[in-house]
Amino acid sequence: MSGIAAILENIPDPRQEWKVRHKLSEILVIALLAITSNAATSSQIHDFAVTRQEWLKTFMTLENGIPGRLTISRVLQALSPKAFAIFFAQLMKKVEDQTEGRIVAVDGKALAGTYHNDGRKGLVFMVSAWCNENKLTLAQVKTQDKSNEITAIPELLDMLDLTGAVVTIDAMGCQKEIVKKIVKEKKADYLIGLKGNQATMHSEFKEYAVAAIAEPVEKNLYEKLVTVDKGHGRIETREYWLFRNVDWFEDKTAWAGLNGLLMVRSSRKNIKSGNESEPEVRLYITSMSGSVEEVANASRSHWGIENNLHWVLDVAYGEDQCLTRLNAEAVNLAQLRRLSVNLLKLDTDNKISANRKRFIASIDPAYLERLVINSKLFS
Domain boundaries, given as residue ranges, for the chain: 2-90+326-378, 191-295
Residue 27: count other Cβ atoms within 10 Å of its Cβ.
21
Q: What is the mean pLDDT of residues 97-104?
A: 78
Neighbours of 292 (CB within 10 A): 18
Give the containing element (helix H, strand E) for 136: strand 136-143
Check residue 378 and give its pLDDT: 87
Task: Quote the CA–CA distance of 225 and 244 in Å, as a whole number.
Answer: 15
State residue 98's pLDDT score. Answer: 65
The average pLDDT across 214-224 equals 85
Alpha carbon distance 225, 333 (integer Å): 43
- Summarised one tens digit per residue, pLDDT across range 164-204 is 999 999 999 999 999 999 999 999 999 999 998 899 999 99
pLDDT of residue 1: 54
The per-residue pLDDT for 145 is: 65
Average pLDDT in the 354-358 region?
95
What burial class does residue 133 get, using C-beta atoms within 10 Å of its C-beta: 0-12 exposed, 13-18 middle, 19+ buried?
A: middle
Residue 347: band (very low, low, confident or very high) from pLDDT cuts 50, 70, 90: very high
User: 180, 199 in Cβ contact below 8 A?
Assistant: no
pLDDT cut 70: percent of the chain above it: 95
- What's the confidence (pLDDT) of residue 321? 82
Check: CB of residue 305 under 8 Å from CB of residue 128: yes
pLDDT tens for 228-265 read 988 778 899 999 999 999 999 999 999 999 999 999 99
What is the model's pLDDT at position 150?
87
Q: How confident is the model at residue 209 (pLDDT cuts 50, 70, 90)?
A: very high
